[in-house]
Chains A and B, each alone.
Chain A
């Protein structure tokens, strides 16, 4: 199945928006691990603009946003 991975904020420095083929039943956490972003870049994931549950499974056509957590003050 195909999903779109969209970097948001500072994550754009490390990857571009991409459409990828992933196996059915994969969790968003497994996809995150496969991206190999720098450990020091704190991120959270949104599936279709919502926070996913810990083991939420991804479906065909989902949008996975990787959002960096460096906040201004």
Chain B
């Protein structure tokens, strides 16, 4: 096999066994790798009755075929399983350095089931696979755990670790690679915690990547890398990070303010934007493996209530989630909140959004002082967020910490009192920091149809609406007007296929905008030898999109769940999108027709599944 190794590591933590397992070659051709292959393996091996934190649940880490190629943006990895936050199928992507190291150690992925009787770590070294007791790391944050791993296994070892939030089963705990990169969304850190798995450590000896056409791949890799390096977007991201254009986003109405209640705050725009971060706190730039863009930030704050030593800095989502979303324009506070979340191992989007929901609930008396142990929740009060709320959530301390550790959706179901109106979710997942009303109406559609819930990385709709994509070979030549429904359903049908291709090949959305459709096909063929045409590639993307929907159908989701909180659809009250309605229902209806989805079940009809070679899967959902 080329590119992929064809092997995964199957770990049963209950019986403490590790086994090398071959994956059928056609699975790679049909489901690509990463998120798609993980969905396929769950379909075969998963226990649909097991709750996300039950020992019987599966946690699947999966590489894409490109992990290990010396090319910007192509060495991310996926984790997937039933999400503790949403209760249904989900996945999450992470940059950093783990995925290529896993490939170099001989594996395309790791599938974990069972529950260890004590805290443990999985260690993967060539010819030395083992489960180690990790009692001495249990209770530590991610940073201390990672430094102890480095002390024990050497600096070259790459690790995934959970912090206290994962151990305490916070529903949106994340998994962190090398302190800086996170499988952020949907709570897979809690799944690791439930399995008492503190860390996974991988160390290879050789950086070998066995390409189908080494010369072809080398040429292609060089030319794509050059385009990526020279693009304006890459240069902007390199200079000022992913928050480089936060200021622009505030002006278009893309950046949510105070729980998506406002769409314009000019003073905040300059205070939180990427160039301000660079001027005030940036110490270094950092990158995922082989990436020349280096959009990651290393920051230091020397004084004030939010002082932090030199270390991982926030990206755009974290800055908005702990800044504008909470009614704050204190950039130092976003850095400190992000740093704490990295150490506790918590998703910053859900953490910030859940706190924003709580602030609004408190303002409107759905949460009272009795619920908060006497703590007032006020917009912009970042001392309370950093010093009290985040630790309470990570340790699930007290009534409030316990409530907010559930995420906003479940917390609102628990307290009711009309607090569902303050949600900003789809399928139980908090929306990212891109407001569909200003960022692009198509986002409302793609948030709602994403299998894991409101998500801007499930597909490139955000980039398509801002005009960063041009794919004539597959019919995407539209210049989309963000604040309109025109051509959004048509674009979304391409977006879901492209998103499945991106997330299954585990390619970074910031880097792959420069890659043309023919180059994508060549990348798959030269690296993994899939021998695809454009049509084969797009079909694989569609197959993955459909399989993820079939999984969710088996978890009980239907067409009604392809919905989104009213807050994200109500006409904005200020800023550029003021008063413009989002025509959600008509976009969804049109998308359902184009994607041949059943209006009740929300899954593709039998003939469509048959045409993609999914007749066996169809028989599970159509009688």
Whether chain B is bound by chain A comes out as yes
Number of interchain pairs (Cβ within 8 Å): 96
Asked whether B368 is an interface residue with its Cβ less than 8 Å from the other chain, the reply is: no
Q: Which residues of B contact A46 (CB under 8 A)?
A: 251-252, 576
Q: A35 in the interface, Cβ–Cβ < 8 Å?
A: no
With contacts A46-B576, A50-B578, A51-B576 taken as known, whether A71 is within 8 angstroms of B251 at the C-beta atoms is no
Which residues of chain B are near A41, meaning CB under 8 Å?
A: 232
Q: How far is the CB of A53 from chain B (nearest CB, A)?
A: 11
In the complex, which of the residues B237, B248, B315, B577 contacts A67, with contact meaning CB atoms closer than 8 Å?
A: B248
Q: Using an 8 Å CB-CB cutoff, how does the interface string of A34-71 with B read, 1 for contact, 0 for none?
A: 00001011101010011100000000000001011111
- The reply on A10 being an interface residue by CB < 8 A is yes
- B478 CB-CB contact with A under 8 Å: no
User: In the docked arrangement, what's the CA distance between A38 and B38, Å?
Assistant: 41
Residues in A with CB closer than 8 Å to B317 are 72-73
- Most chain-A CB neighbours within 10 Å: which of B236, B237, B242, B439? B236
A9 to B266, CA, bound (A): 12
CB neighbors of A among B424-472 (8 A): 432, 434, 439, 456-457, 462-463, 466-468
Q: A38 and B246: CB pair below 8 A?
A: no
- Complex interface residues of chain B between 210 and 239 (CB less than 8 A to chain A): 231-233, 236-237
**Given known contacts A42-B467, A73-B456, A68 and B264 CB-to-CB distance under 8 angstroms:** no
| A70 contacts B237, C-beta separation under 8 Å | yes
Which residues of A does B touch, CB under 8 Å?
8-11, 13, 38, 40-42, 44, 46, 49-51, 65, 67-73
**What does the 1/0 interface line of B416-427 toward A look like (CB < 8 Å)?**
000000000000
Q: Can you list 29 pairs linking A and B with CB atoms under 8 Å apart? A: A8-B247, A11-B248, A13-B236, A41-B232, A42-B467, A46-B251, A46-B252, A46-B576, A50-B578, A51-B576, A65-B251, A67-B251, A68-B248, A70-B232, A70-B233, A70-B237, A70-B248, A71-B249, A71-B462, A71-B466, A72-B243, A73-B315, A73-B317, A73-B432, A73-B434, A73-B456, A73-B457, A73-B462, A73-B509
CA distance A42 to B466 in the complex (A): 7
Indicate the size class of the contact surface on chain B: 35 or more
**B245 interfacial contact with A, CB 8 Å:** yes
Known: A42-B467, A69-B468. A8 touches B251 (CB 8 A): yes
How far does the alpha carbon of A24 sit from the alpha carbon of B434 in the complex, in Å? 37
CA distance A68 to B576 in the complex (A): 14
Within 8 A of A (CB), among B248-278: 248-249, 251-252, 254, 264, 269, 273-274
- B506 → chain A, closest Cβ, in Å? 15
Closest chain B CB from A59 CB (angstroms): 18
At the interface, yes or no: B571 with Cβ under 8 Å from chain A? Answer: no
> Main secondary structure on chain B at its contact with chain A?
loop
Q: How far is the CB of B130 from chain A (nearest CB, A)?
A: 37
Q: A13, A38, A67: which contacts B252 (Cβ < 8 A)?
A: A67
Check if B48 is an interface residue, CB within 8 A of chain A.
no
Which residues of B sit under 8 angstroms from A49, Cβ to Cβ?
Answer: 251, 264, 575-576
Closest 8 CB pairs of A and B: A72-B316, A9-B248, A72-B242, A69-B466, A9-B245, A42-B467, A67-B248, A70-B245
Q: How far is the CA of A17 from the CA of B457 in the complex (A)?
A: 34
Assess the A71–B576 pair: CB atoms within 8 A: no
Please report the C-alpha to C-alpha distance between residue A40 and residue B231 in the assembled complex, in whole angstroms. 8
- Roughly how many angstroms separate A8 CA and B269 CA in the complex, as a whole number? 10
B431: min CB distance to chain A, Å: 13
- Besides A10-B236, A49-B264, A68-B248, 19 new A-B residue pairs in contact (Cβ under 8 A), listed by A number: A8-B247, A8-B248, A9-B244, A9-B245, A9-B273, A40-B233, A42-B466, A42-B467, A46-B576, A49-B575, A50-B578, A51-B576, A69-B248, A70-B236, A70-B466, A71-B249, A71-B463, A73-B315, A73-B316
Q: Is B510 an interface residue (CB 8 A)?
A: yes
Residues of B within 8 A of A67 (CB): 248, 251-252
Whether a CB of chain A sits under 8 angstroms from the CB of B241 is: yes
Known contacts A49-B251, A50-B576; A68/B245 CB under 8 A:
yes
Shortest Cβ distance from A70 into B: residue = B245
A71 to B483, Cβ gap below 8 A?
no
Residues of B within 8 A of A73 (CB): 242, 315-317, 432, 434, 456-457, 462, 509-510
The one of A11, A44, A65, A71 in contact with B434, judged by C-beta atoms closer than 8 angstroms, is A71
- Alpha-carbon distance A9/B269, docked complex (angstroms): 9
A54 → chain B, closest Cβ, in Å? Answer: 9
Q: How far is the CA of A65 from the CA of B253 in the complex (A)?
A: 13
A50 to B242, CA, bound (A): 25
Residue among A9, A40, A41, A46 with max Cβ neighbours from chain B (10 Å): A9
Which residues in A have their C-beta under 8 angstroms from that of B456?
73
- Asked whether B316 lies within 8 Å of A42 as measured between CB atoms, the reply is no
- Across-interface contacts of A42 in B (CB, < 8 A): 466-468
Within 8 Å CB of B315, what residues of A? 72-73
